[in-house]
Structure 1
Amino acid sequence: MLSATRKAKREYWRRLIDNASDDADLYKVVGWHKAAPSLKFPPLVVDGQQIEGTREKAQILLDKVLHRYDSTDDLDTDPVSENRAPTLPWDTNVSLEEVERNTIGVSSTSPGADKVTVRLLKACWGSIKGYIRDLFECCLKRSYFPKVWRLAEVVMLPKVGKKDKSSVRSWRPIALLSCVGKGLERIIARRIAWTSLTHSTLSPQHCGALPKRSAMDLVAAFVHDVECAFARKREVTLVTMDVQGAFDALLPRRLLKRMQDQGWPTSLLKMIRSFLQERRVMVRLENVYTDESRVQCGTPQGSPLSPVLYMLYLAELLNQDQALRFGYADDIALYRVGKNIRGQYQGDYARCSTDRGMGVG
């Protein structure tokens, strides 16, 4: 019996791999290979003290992960109060097809605090679709993101490659948000992404959360540049950077200022301000919940809108040197080509000195 079961499993996997016809099938196979996470959350160690109680662990994660940043370094004044003429288009009309595609035309995800699932929305869509469309359009026209959708139920997932699970830095906060609210977020995110592409707001070397751009495009372009450099007997130096707690540290007013400088209209700025302000979180750990608390900055991980907002946040950095800087969402890389590392350094020094009006001796 055991031999027959093993044989059936081998045949099943061989057939699955042989029938894989595109990247989606391959990613599905790799995803099934990943080990399931442990159901029991391990003890945490903070300042040398071991914490084992579930409620205490949840509170520590709330304090050390979600409340580790504040708005101290944000701008003192609200950029939205400045009246500037926009240079980018923005449409507040919504079609029923667009609402349906972004609300129920998605894979099922974990529901937010309201416990309304995509499956439930699909079951009653015929009766509520008109109301949802009217609600979304009203939100866009009034530049208002409903407060009830700004509550996030946060779960902690282990970060890949982090072996010490007793450290709070080994856990990534994922916000479970209202499935209805995420429908509106997707509409806003896709419109921002498309406008950014068609008006070259973002660097062509910046991928993630954008249609027709992927990490594979970046890898192929970089490998091509490296091969060309090697063919000319040149050396390539690569520096990679990862912003720690990127989404959690985003400063709302600085984001709005950059979006304003990019030419986005005031109506969208007000919508994003509404989306980011007075956000509330509660950590869920093994069916134990912390009390709700407000966060001063950041944009929720797990939100369809957060990735493209962070790309706009970093746009100035990536646009400074498009030929030699590239990134995927909040991951950034810089590379230089030269005869040797010293030559690359001297070239960068000369370039910076020229930009600052200094002579190079």
Structure 2
Amino acid sequence: MQSERPHAGQAPPTVQSPCIRQEFSFRPVPVSVVTKLLRKQKMKYQSGPDQIPAMLLKISAPAIANPVATLINESLATGYIPKLWKTARVVPIHKSGDSTLVSNYRPISLLPVMSKVLEKCVYTQLRDYYQYWNYLTPDQSGFRPNHSTTTALLKVCNDIQAGMEQGNLTGAIFLDFAKAFDTVDHGILLEKLKNSGIGDRTLTWFQSYVSDRSQYVSISGSSSFPLPVTCGVPQGSILGPLLFTIFINDLPNVCKASTVHMYADDTVIYTSKPNLPQLEAVLQEQFTEVEKWIKSNKLFLNTDKTVTMLFGTAPKLHKLQNPHLCVGTISNGTLTTVTSLKYLGMWLDPNLSFGPHIEKLSSKLYPKLGALYRNKSCLSPAVRKQIVQQMLMPAIDYGDVVYAAAPQTHLHKLTTLYNSFCRFALQCNYMTHHCDMLKQLNWPSLESRRTLHLSSLVFKSISGSCHPT
């Protein structure tokens, strides 16, 4: 993909945070920290390109921590990373469908365990530095402590709901980056690291980190020849997600007339206006600026999958003759407008009724419940209860604080589904009252579960262990 990378006519926009007053440099890593990291390794025989399994490092942690700490500190001091630590073994895992199609495989990148220990030391120092200076944009929820997809969904949905309450229409553009992590330009990334306060001496280490990397494919005992990796952040790495966050940290700065929210590369741009012409004008202007930013940063936007969506109350949308957004691209195309969209695992609809989400959730879980019923003779009561709690309920619990305000007609469908779970766990008939089932199982009602999850989220937000939306 490197050969297809666009050439920008101007330098990419970068941001020097005014709050940063101290240059970042590495601190020596104590042996105690290295010992702790080695002991945290999983008991796995699987190894990376260096053929050293994590289990071996874990067991021998007390004996090797001192020399490993010396190697790590030498790397940080000299700005050099051994080439073997920058080699990835890619194992293709078949997802589904035709096994002869490459698109039906998911690549799993395995890096040397030693490189991950080194990266963890760097990640901790770099993360603490950015947190101390409050450098990362609050519009990014991915790969950050006290953030989650739920907090991101709450932020976006609350803003849209606020627009509805003011009688406005809200237009949103959901961006689809093509292989965003794999197309990060190393030169631009290093420039952005420098602008974020990374000193020249420390920047040498990051330059060594992203350069001279390679990967090979390993399958069925055979391995390909290694090929160079000339762009992108390393997949399966510790530092990769944070570096990507830094790379797109300045994207919200080009959208001064709208709101941007990101979860990793899942990005949505939205704004609220009293009428459709004003809304389209602002979104068009903002999207043009975003396309310029994408081009100058040498990323790729999949315009076929980048879509728009119009939100508003049912009466407000009903008054429109053509309730669609018209947003054009630089290449003279037009973005598709949709009436239902899956965003961060939740289906959104124009009225934020969450009806489509609940319908799709029910359609997904009822067949699974049917399959379990067909095998009920093989399952003990304890196993049936555990299956419901660990395999079925997480799907209902996900995002329940977001869709809690859905109309009761929709929420009742989930209550019926929940009662079916209870009947399966207890193997009782349809005449058994749901209150009796919940009492016997010692489970709360679905409404109580949502209240509990919301209360927990509010408490975490107040106590500082969750990002306030």
Cα distance in 2, alignment partners of residues 352 and 73 from structure 1 = 19
Q: 1:74 to 1:311 in 2, by over 3 A?
A: farther
- Percent identical pairs in the alignment equals 23
What per-residue deviation string (whole Å, max 9, x for no partner) do you get for residues 184-221 of structure 1?
A: 11121232222222223221111222222222221122
Structure 1 equivalent of residue 122 of structure 2 = 188
Q: Is the 8 A contact 1:318 1:327 kept in 2?
A: no
Structure 2 equivalent of residue 137 of structure 1 = 73
The alignment status of 1:122 with 2:55, answered yes or no, reads no
The within-5 A match list for 1:215-294 is: 215-294=149-228
Structure 1 equivalent of residue 449 of structure 2 = none
Q: 1:243 to 1:87 in 2, by over 3 A?
A: farther
Cα distance in 2, alignment partners of residues 350 and 112 from structure 1 = 47
Whichever residue aligns with residue 121 of structure 2, its letter is I
Q: Is the 8 A contact 1:69 1:297 kept in 2?
A: yes
Whichever residue aligns with residue 150 of structure 1, its letter is K
Cα distance in 2, alignment partners of residues 334 and 100 from structure 1 = 44
What per-residue deviation string (whole Å, max 9, x for no partner) do you get for residues 164-190 of structure 1?
A: 665434444332000111011112123
The alignment status of 1:148 with 2:111, answered yes or no, reads no
TM-superposed CA distance for 1:88, in Å, is: 3.5
Q: Is the 8 A contact 1:237 1:337 kept in 2?
A: yes
Cα distance in 1, alignment partners of residues 76 and 127 from structure 2 = 16
Q: 1:191 to 1:163 in 2, by over 3 A?
A: farther
Q: 1:347 to 1:171 in 2, by over 3 A?
A: same
Whichever residue aligns with residue 271 of structure 2, its letter is R
Structure 2 equivalent of residue 105 of structure 1 = 40
Cα distance in 2, alignment partners of residues 74 and 271 from structure 1 = 26
Instruction: Report which stretch shifted further, 221-230 or 320-329.
Output: 320-329
Cα distance in 1, alignment partners of residues 7 and 186 from structure 2 = 7
Query: Aligned match of 1:326 in 261, 277, 288?
Result: 261
What per-residue deviation string (whole Å, max 9, x for no partner) do you get for residues 315-350 of structure 1?
A: 121343487111112221111112233221223567
Alignment coverage as a number of residue pairs: 276
Structure 2 equivalent of residue 69 of structure 1 = 2
Cα distance in 2, alignment partners of residues 106 and 200 from structure 1 = 31
- Say which SS state the counterpart of residue 261 (structure 2) adopts: strand
TM-score (norm 1): 0.68
Cα distance in 2, alignment partners of residues 164 and 207 from structure 1 = 36
The alignment status of 1:345 with 2:280, answered yes or no, reads yes
Q: Is the 8 A contact 2:43 2:58 kept in 1?
A: no
Q: 1:212 to 1:151 in 2, by over 3 A?
A: same
Whichever residue aligns with residue 258 of structure 1, its letter is K
Structure 1 equivalent of residue 317 of structure 2 = none
Cα distance in 1, alignment partners of residues 159 and 177 from structure 2 = 25
What per-residue deviation string (whole Å, max 9, x for no partner) do you get for residues 291-319 of structure 1?
A: 12222222221111111111111112134
Whichever residue aligns with residue 62 of structure 2, its letter is G
Structure 2 equivalent of residue 43 of structure 1 = none
Higher-Rg structure is 2
TM-superposed CA distance for 1:100, in Å, is: 2.9
Cα distance in 1, alignment partners of residues 116 and 59 from structure 2 = 18
The within-5 A match list for 1:172-187 is: 172-187=106-121
Structure 1 equivalent of residue 304 of structure 2 = none
**What is the RMSD of the two structures over their aligned residues, measured on CA atoms?**
2.9
Q: 1:126 to 1:201 in 2, by over 3 A?
A: same
Q: 1:236 to 1:138 in 2, by over 3 A?
A: same
TM-superposed CA distance for 1:163, in Å, is: 5.8
Cα distance in 2, alignment partners of residues 108 and 242 from structure 1 = 37
Q: Is the 8 A contact 1:173 1:301 kept in 2?
A: no
Cα distance in 1, alignment partners of residues 122 and 98 from structure 2 = 38
Whichever residue aligns with residue 77 of structure 2, its letter is K
Q: Is the 8 A contact 2:136 2:246 kept in 1?
A: yes
Q: Is the 8 A contact 1:112 1:152 kept in 2?
A: yes
- Say which SS state the counterpart of residue 216 (structure 1) adopts: helix
The alignment status of 1:303 with 2:218, answered yes or no, reads no
Cα distance in 1, alignment partners of residues 151 and 240 from structure 2 = 22
Cα distance in 2, alignment partners of residues 130 and 172 from structure 1 = 37
Cα distance in 2, alignment partners of residues 297 and 350 from structure 1 = 30
Whichever residue aligns with residue 189 of structure 1, its letter is Y
* Runs (5+) with no aligned partner, structure 1: 1-67, 76-84, 355-361
Q: 1:245 to 1:158 in 2, by over 3 A?
A: farther
Q: Is the 8 A contact 2:41 2:57 kept in 1?
A: no
What per-residue deviation string (whole Å, max 9, x for no partner) do you get for residues 32-71 of structure 1?
A: xxxxxxxxxxxxxxxxxxxxxxxxxxxxxxxxxxxx3349
Cα distance in 2, alignment partners of residues 70 and 273 from structure 1 = 21
Structure 1 equivalent of residue 429 of structure 2 = none
Cα distance in 2, alignment partners of residues 90 and 300 from structure 1 = 22
Q: 1:208 to 1:108 in 2, by over 3 A?
A: farther
Q: 1:201 to 1:276 in 2, by over 3 A?
A: same
- Say which SS state the counterpart of residue 315 (structure 1) adopts: coil
- Say which SS state the counterpart of residue 248 (structure 2) adopts: helix
Whichever residue aligns with residue 325 of structure 1, its letter is V
The alignment status of 1:203 with 2:137, answered yes or no, reads yes
